Amino acid sequence: MKILFSEEQLQQGISRMATEINQRFGHEPLTVICVMTGSIILVADLIRQLVMPVKLGSVHACSYRGGTSRSELELDASMLPNLEGSNVLIVDDIFDTGHTLTAVHQHIESLGATCVETAVLLYKHGREELDFQVNFIGFEIPDEFVVGYGLDYQGIYRNLPYVGVMESHDLAQDES
Ligand code: IMP
Ligand code: MG
């Protein structure tokens, strides 16, 4: 495992994002939607630096069943609060192909929110399949599989306090 962003670097990036979000929304109420499970740690750190009244909701999106390749997206939005007339910020851990954020964004817009913006900790370059504009980005990264600070490989590594790059000897032998 190679460390890509240390705890300190992550906190600097998150503070910068929080400042941008505070500037964008001022003191208007904001509903933050945590895209579970990967963004749970980011959301916890980010919302404590927001100055407006914040409501918190979540959706569960899952496109990785095990390894590092993408499968069909499953979206469970059954736990959302009422979003009609709200300013909404969808927060995900990473933008990779763009399928997750595009699907969550479309769904949230259909629920009558006034404004729907998006924030990700990491934006991975070279894998975008959909043309989607993310509003707030922590860090841009090359096309490498990363774990830690919420991001997992086969369900583990989410608790690492840093973001690391999986190296070939970290990946399971039998993954194809
Ligand atoms: P997308 O739908 O292809 O943009 O993928 C977004 C989702 O895939 C994220 O919410 C992550 O859960 C997962 N993902 C994409 N790249 C990585 C990675 O490098 N490490 C861990 N999870 C990833
Ligand atoms: Mg995810």
Is 96 marked active-site? yes
Give me the domain span that covers residue 127. 2-175
Per the prediction, the chain carries an average pLDDT of 93
**Tell me: the pLDDT tens digits for 103-137?**
999 999 999 999 999 999 999 999 999 999 999 99
Structural domain count of the chain: 1
Nearest CA to ligand 1 atom 16: 96
pLDDT of residue 84: 96
Q: Are strands 146-147 and 136-141 parallel, antiparallel or unpaired?
A: unpaired
CA of 92 to the centre of ligand 2 (A): 6
On the question of pLDDT at 175 being above 80, the answer is no
Tokens (6 digits) for 18: 């929080």
In ligand 1, the atom with minimum distance to the C-alpha of 153 is: 21
Domain with residue 115: its CATH number is: 3.40.50.2020
**Please, which contacts does 127-130 make with residues 24 or more away whose CB atoms are closer than 8 Å?**
127/96, 127/97, 128/95, 128/97, 128/98, 129/97, 129/98, 129/99, 130/97, 130/98, 130/99, 130/102
Q: Which helix (H) or strand (E) holds 15?
A: helix 7-25
Say if ligand 1 is within 6 A of residue 63 CB: yes
